[in-house]
Amino acid sequence: MNASLTDLQVFKPNGDSRWAFRFRLPDGVAGPRRPMGRGYATKRDAKEAAERRFEEIMADADASTTLPSVSGLIREYRTLRPGKGGGKERVLWALAKFEAGFGGTRIDKVTVREVELWIATLPNASTRWEVSRVGRQLFAQAARHYGITNPVSVTAQPRREEVKPFQTLEELERVAIELGEWGDAARFVAATGMRPEEWIPLEPGDIDEQAMTVTIRRTYTEGKGLEQFVGKTRGSIRTISLSEAAIAVYRSQRQRHPDSLLVFPARRGGYLNLRNWRHRDWQPALEAAGLDQRGPNALRHTFATWFLLQSDDRWLLAKLMGTGVDMIELHYGHLIAPHANRSRAILDAIWENYLDANWTQTQNAIPIESLENP
In order along its 374 residues, the chain shows pLDDT tens digits of: 456 777 888 999 888 899 999 888 877 665 667 788 889 999 999 999 988 888 887 777 665 567 788 998 998 888 877 665 556 778 888 999 999 999 989 888 899 999 999 999 998 888 899 899 999 999 998 888 888 899 999 988 776 666 789 999 999 999 999 999 999 999 999 999 999 999 999 999 999 999 999 999 988 987 778 888 655 555 567 899 999 999 999 999 999 999 999 999 999 889 999 989 999 999 999 999 999 999 999 999 999 989 888 888 889 988 999 888 888 877 776 666 556 666 667 667 766 665 654 555 544 444 444 444 44
pLDDT of residue 169: 93
- Where does a domain end: 296, 316, 332? 332
pLDDT of residue 281: 96
User: Are 303 and 179 in a shared domain?
Assistant: yes
Q: How far, in whole angstroms, is CA 91 from its chain's centroid?
A: 11
Instruction: Say how far apart CA 122 and CA 132 lie, in whole Å.
Output: 10
User: For residue 156, is it within any domain?
Assistant: no
Q: Are 46 and 35 in contact (CB under 8 A)?
A: no
User: For residue 151, is it within any domain?
Assistant: no
User: For residue 176, is it within any domain?
Assistant: yes
User: Are 121 and 227 in a shared domain?
Assistant: no
User: For residue 349, is it within any domain?
Assistant: no
Instruction: Say how far apart CA 125 and CA 127 lie, in whole Å.
Output: 5
* H or E segment and range at residue 186: helix 183-192
User: In angstroms, what CA-CA distances link 362 with 39, 141, 321, 344?
Assistant: 92, 70, 47, 21
User: Are 260 and 313 in a shared domain?
Assistant: yes
User: Are 271 and 220 in a shared domain?
Assistant: yes
User: For residue 44, is it within any domain?
Assistant: yes
pLDDT of residue 151: 94
What's the one-letter identity of residue 365? A
User: For residue 205, is it within any domain?
Assistant: yes
- Under 8 Å CB-to-CB from 127, ≥6 apart: which residues? none
User: For residue 194, is it within any domain?
Assistant: yes
* First-last CA distance in the chain: 85
pLDDT of residue 32: 67
HSE-CB of 83 using CA atoms within 13 angstroms: 16
pLDDT of residue 171: 95
User: Are 269 and 125 in a shared domain?
Assistant: no
User: For residue 254, is it within any domain?
Assistant: yes
Domain count, the chain: 3
- Range(s) of the domain holding residue 84: 70-146
- Where does a domain end: 112, 146, 180? 146
User: In angstroms, what CA-CA distances link 69 with 48, 99, 191?
Assistant: 31, 10, 53
pLDDT of residue 365: 47
pLDDT of residue 355: 60
Q: Which three-class secondary structure state does DSSP give residue 19?
A: strand
User: Are 225 and 282 in a shared domain?
Assistant: yes
User: Are 202 and 297 in a shared domain?
Assistant: yes
User: Are 310 and 223 in a shared domain?
Assistant: yes
- Where does a domain end: 298, 316, 332? 332
Q: What is the CATH number of the domain that holds 237?
A: 1.10.443.10
